[in-house]
Amino acid sequence: MNPVIESPKCSIKRNVFIGIILAVVIVLIAAIFAAIPPNNFPGRVIISIKDGSSLSQVAKILADNHIIRSQFLYKTFVVITGERTRVISGDYLFSQPQSVIRVAYRTAYGVQGLSKIKVTIPEGTNTKAMATILKKSIPAFDDIDFIASSSQYEGYLFPDTYFFLENVKPNEVISIMRSNFDKHISPLSDKIKSFDKPLADIVTMASIVEKEATSTTDRQIIAGILWKRIVNKIPLQVDPPFYYFLNKTSDQLTVSDLATDSPYNLYKHPGLPPTPIDNPGLDAISDTVNATTTKYFFYLSDKSGAMHYAMTFGGHIANKQKFLQ
């Protein structure tokens, strides 16, 4: 049998076909490799896409942050998936590696992937402590900016349980908490007006009362004592403001601390401090304007938290000796 001799023309066709197959395979392998997430995909990152950003600008941002391998494939899939040449602006959370197809779909349709985080702010928390709580709950939160921006609203950021997005900004938190304050004290508006004192004074007094007692009865009695001391031009002589400006509790105060020349030192300066010392809850605000009138001028809390009242300074000293020594 004579061997079949392949013609040069057939050989060329076969080689061309094999070359095409190899090229297609190489392209497919390259495309698959480019479509999978980069090896150095960040563990958890929020990528901000500004309004008006072009598709090429977004592709570069994603590539620079190791979210995608191929800018070309990303742009191609955005056009195919979203039928558009722009993406939706916003903050996108990437918590785990995703294919370029998934990334393209998310940015084309605005699937930001941000979850809401529960944050509880206890009553009587000042703005610096709030910043710490927020930062602990939301690691990306700008606590420094919050402290700088919120200090002017001390007393008016309502303590409550909130659900904030992971990308929440300090000004958004402040706005939400301020609105919540207005909403909660609205039912007290008539009582506040009839109390005939500025809201600033009421909130400042409530921020002290919040720290001085835990029950409604005691808060109302203490509020009555402190308002009466102001009317009689007697210094309030309370310790909570020291925690606000010295970060010291009552049992940490020294003789030198009590002599500190500060408007928050209410042993030396009569009247209220210049600002609230924390953010009181609704009960403290309500008890402050529903103060109980008594014959007392002095009070103290014993080691178990029970309150003891006195009409005179001598009676107050006797209570100290009896309940604190």
**Fold that domain 41-114 belongs to in CATH:** Dna Ligase; domain 1 (3.30.1490)
Q: Please state which CATH class domain 116-185 belongs to.
A: alpha beta
Distance CA 287, CA 306 (A): 18
Question: Tokens for 232?
Answer: 């009689």
* Contact yes or no for 100/35 (Cβ under 8 A): yes
Q: Where in the chain is the domain with CATH 3.30.1490.480?
A: 41-114
Q: Per-residue pLDDT for the chain (325 aa), expressed as one digit of tens each?
A: 555 555 666 666 666 656 566 555 555 555 565 567 788 888 788 899 999 899 999 999 999 999 998 999 899 989 887 666 779 999 999 988 999 989 999 999 999 999 899 999 999 999 999 999 999 999 989 999 999 999 999 999 999 999 999 899 999 999 999 999 999 999 999 999 999 899 999 999 999 999 999 999 999 999 999 999 999 999 999 999 999 999 888 889 898 988 899 999 999 999 999 999 999 999 999 999 999 999 999 999 998 889 999 999 999 999 999 988 8
**Could you give the 3-state DSSP secondary structure of residue 290?**
coil
Q: DSSP assignment, residue 279?
A: B
Phi, psi of 26, rounded to the nearest 5 degrees:
-65, -45
Distance CA 210, CA 220 (A): 11
